[in-house]
Amino acid sequence: MSTLVATLRDQLLAFDSDKFVQTVQKAVDDGHNPVEVVNALTEVLKEIGKKFETGEIFLVHLVQAGDAAKRATIEVLEPLIKKGGEKKKMLGKVLIGTVAGDIHDIGKNIVSMMLFTAGFEVYDIGKDVPTEDFVQKTKEYNADIVALSALLTTTLPIQREVIDALKEANLRQKVKILVGGAPVSEKWAKESGADGYGKDAIDAVRAAKELMGIKE
């Protein structure tokens, strides 16, 4: 493990957003390339995600770590990358939202953050999103992947409704569909017509990369 990764991990696990942003700024001031810091941060987030899976940290900690990481990326790293003319190659465009009738968004927010820090261009359109909005935003953002979250068993059929609506709009063949949420299973993903399924945030990132033909 590199010194940079170890430093970022220790500071991120302190769950202090302000101090973490300062740590990232210091890493850049000490001569680390902003893209190098982004890559190290992605590695750290994967490790923290695994700690959540094994019960070493709780959901509230995962959310706090994600928020701090996203803040540091937006406030410190992205402006420097743009200013320096360095382009971080985006892995693809992901449109993500919680389907209509479902107001739960913690899981969706974590997936959104993980996709963002992994290198995807993410368009989070919120929760309780009408089917027609998914269709409209897919066109507007020219999305590569449409990620549909559902946390209620009663809203699972809406995932299939969105997929059917994308077919009717002649968009289905242009995008990959990723589904997820507590009641979602691999069996349901196949039944709904989706291309992929993420059982959690880490798996969602893996699935998104797979759908884009990216091998780790």
Residue 87 predicted with pLDDT over 70 = no
- Classified by CATH at the fold level, domain 93-211 comes out as Rossmann fold (3.40.50)
CA distance 143 to 44: 27
**Rg of the chain, C-alpha, whole Å:** 18
**Architecture of the domain whose range is 3-83:** Orthogonal Bundle (1.10)
What pLDDT is stored for residue 28 in this prediction? 94
CA distance 167 to 129: 18
Query: Could you give the 3-state DSSP secondary structure of residue 91?
Result: coil
**Beta carbons within 10 angstroms of residue 168's beta carbon:** 9
Percent of the chain with pLDDT over 90: 59
Query: Could you give the 3-state DSSP secondary structure of residue 124?
Result: strand
Q: Which amino acid is at 27?
A: A
What average pLDDT score do residues 163-191 get? 96
pLDDT in tens, 90-149: 799 999 999 999 998 878 888 887 888 788 989 999 999 999 999 999 999 999 999 999
Tokens of 94: 């992901």
CA distance 119 to 94: 11
CA dihedral 137, 141, 147, 153 (to 10 degrees): -10
Tokens of 165: 């609506």
3-83 and 93-211 agree in CATH topology: no
- The domain limits of the chain are 3-83, 93-211
pTM for the model stands at 0.73
Q: Are 37 and 26 spatial neighbours (Cβ–Cβ below 8 Å)? A: no
Q: H helices then E strands: how many in the chain?
A: 10, 5
pLDDT in tens, 13-59: 999 999 999 999 999 999 998 878 887 887 888 888 888 878 999 88
Percent of the chain with pLDDT over 70: 96
**CA nearest neighbour of 120 among 54, 208, 40, 58:** 208
* Beta strands at 196-198 and 176-180: parallel, antiparallel or unpaired: parallel
**Is residue 60 packed enough to be buried (19+ CB in 10 Å), middle (13-18) or exposed (0-12)?**
exposed
